[in-house]
Copies of this chain bind each other. A is one copy, B any other.
Amino acid sequence: MIRISIDAMGGDHGPGVVVPALAQVAVRRPDIRFIVYGREEAVRPELAKFPALQEKSEFFHCDVAVKMDDKPSQALRHGRWKSSMWKAIEAVKAETADACVSAGNTGALMAMSKFCLRTMASIDRPAIAAIWPTLRGESVVLDVGATIGADAQQLIDFAILGTGMARSVFGIERPTVGLLNVGVEEIKGQEEVKEAGRMLREADMASMTYHGFVEGDDIGKGTVDVVVTEGFSGNIALKTAEGTARQIAGYLRAAMGRTLMARIGYLFARSAFNTLREKMDVSRANGGVFLGLNGIVVKSHGGADSEGFAAAVELAYDMARNRLFDRIEADLDLFHARNPQSQLTRKPAVADDGEDR
């Protein structure tokens, strides 16, 4: 049995989307159980529509719901201890849940997750990992925006975290790992990236195959299973890819509507276009995963429909079922046992008050 705690108030649509998603997942993953947090008057009527789901769910009322536009500091001030978002995270800390899912706002969810769960003992900073559709399938890309900048040791932490995720989500025994870098010859990359590359090559870890540097266009090609970068460039890569996909969808719509022949062609090829649209929709690869905390937290896209939220819940289920957290802990222990000096290169830890830079 896998138990998932749910913030039912998150996202643009709240319980009206979240609860039907849980009902779908309950059919597809029979051994799942839910602990649902939210406002009674909003969630109860939705739950009442799905008797089979109700049997697999516990519901707890929370007075406070974190708003989608709350700043992290506001969310912490008003929502700590009592909001549905906080309670869902806290269930993971209390080990009444194996993982937590929320479609609430990313900044608030990260601030609360850090405050409540704290980072793992040998990890400085959490990362947000995205599942990125590629020509070869899917890859894990991290960090896509938890923090800005990373030293070599933090990049290695991200590599270990992402490797654990690729192993438990894709079922790859020894994922390939690349460090995102620029390929222009005369500039030789950031010092941290180069140092991380040297360290990864020397560490020669059993859990991963270190591939070397990759460039921006390698992400979509699926050159490696895990792409590691710091949060600024990772966020810009993710948003740029989303923007490019939308841009091309716009061109496609315009091109297909322009002439009668093209419109006829569109009618013939409609189902092919629908397949294409699904593949192009980067946000379908839903669920940013917060890694490096003492527990698994999955962030669903705020605008996700029930199918999208269900995908995020299933991702949380798969990671819990495949013992992602234990794998990561074991890999970190192994790395630090073999490379005792690696901690020495680390910068002093920053106080983790949820008000991160």
Contacts and interface: CB of A to CB of B under 8 A. Distances in A.
A145 B259 contact: no
B246 A107 contact: no
Interface stretch (A21-29, A158-166, A236-244, A318-326): A236-244
Interface string A239-278: 1111111111011100110110110111111111101100
A40 interface: no
A262 B190 CA distance: 46
A180 interface: yes
A147 interface: yes
Contacts of A235: 182-184, 215-216
Given A240-B217, A241-B241, A243-B216, A231 B268 contact: no
Nearest to A257: B272
Contacts of A220: 240, 243-244, 246-247
A206 interface: no
Given A232-B233, A259-B271, A217 B239 contact: yes
A14 interface: no
Instruction: Please tell me the size bucket of the interface on A.
Output: 35 or more
A256 B239 contact: no
A17 to B, nearest CB: 22
A245 B267 CA distance: 24
Contacts of A145: 182, 184, 187
A356 B186 contact: yes
Task: Count the copies.
Answer: 2
Q: Which of A236, A244, A245, A268 has the most CB of B within 10 A?
A: A244
Tell me whether chain A's interface is mostly helix, strand or loop, or mixed.
helix
A341 to B, nearest CB: 26
Contacts of A269: 255-256, 261-262, 264-266, 269
A216 B231 contact: no
A44 interface: no
Interface of A: 71-72, 105-108, 110-111, 134-135, 145-149, 180, 182-190, 215-221, 229, 231-233, 235-248, 250-252, 255-256, 258-259, 261-262, 264-273, 275-276, 279-280, 356-357
Given A148-B187, A248-B280, A266-B269, 11 more contacts: A146-B187, A149-B190, A215-B236, A217-B242, A221-B247, A233-B236, A237-B240, A255-B279, A261-B271, A265-B265, A265-B269
27 contacts: A134-B247, A145-B184, A182-B231, A182-B235, A186-B356, A187-B231, A187-B356, A215-B235, A216-B240, A216-B241, A216-B242, A217-B242, A219-B243, A220-B240, A236-B236, A240-B241, A240-B244, A241-B241, A248-B276, A251-B279, A261-B272, A264-B268, A264-B269, A265-B265, A265-B268, A266-B269, A269-B269
